[in-house]
């Protein structure tokens, strides 16, 4: 396995650790506590720029080279997550139906939970069938913030 390059981004909802595999962004996870010193690798310039635009309400979709590492099934689910537009949500059961097997709902939930490229692969847009916010590795308060942020952007872009 190649050595991962790591850098950090300060967002309105905490520090985000960015990792690049040499092929693309492979991890974007929230950290608790103070932001470590930034390493300023040029591989992260575009990612940081797009994250700034996202948090400023100027970007709904990302166009970055990703290197999401997972099984074929996980990648299938992550590709479906990329189809959920900003400001929208989908339930785990709807996601399972889209992949062709409603019985795979637990596997869909697990694949969603193992997504290491949060925000860019928008696992936060998946909710419980009753509309509840369920599980998010970055914390439910961040999931709520991200959904409200996106719904605000989506609403403003309609007019």
Quick check: is 123 catalytic?
yes
Q: What angle do CA 16, 20, 26 make, to 5 degrees?
A: 75
Among 95, 96, 123, 147, the active-site one is 123
For 154, the token pair is 């989506």
Following CA atoms 123, 129, 133, 135 in sequence, which dihedral angle do they give, to the nearest 10 degrees? -60
Residue in the block written with tokens 């637990």: 106
Alpha helices in the chain (DSSP H): 45-55, 72-81, 92-98, 105-113, 140-157
Would you please indicate which residues are annotated as catalytic (active-site) residues?
123
């Amino acid at each position: 396995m190649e050595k991962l390059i790591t850098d950090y981004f300060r967002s309105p909802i905490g520090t985000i650790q960015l990792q690049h595999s040499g092929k693309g962004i492979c991890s974007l996870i929230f950290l608790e506590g103070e932001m470590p010193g930034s390493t300023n690798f040029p591989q992260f310039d575009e990612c940081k720029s797009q994250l700034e635009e996202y948090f400023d309400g100027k970007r709904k979709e990302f166009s970055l080279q990703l290197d999401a590492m997972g099984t074929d099934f996980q990648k299938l689910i992550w590709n479906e997550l990329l189809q959920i537009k900003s400001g929208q949500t989908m339930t785990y059961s709807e996601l399972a139906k889209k992949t062709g097997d409603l019985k795979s709902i637990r596997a869909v939930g697990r694949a969603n939970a193992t997504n290491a490229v949060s925000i860019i692969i928008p696992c936060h847009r998946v909710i419980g069938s009753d509309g509840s916010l369920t599980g998010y590795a970055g914390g439910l308060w961040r999931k709520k913030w991200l959904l409200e942020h996106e719904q605000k952007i989506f609403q403003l872009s309609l007019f």
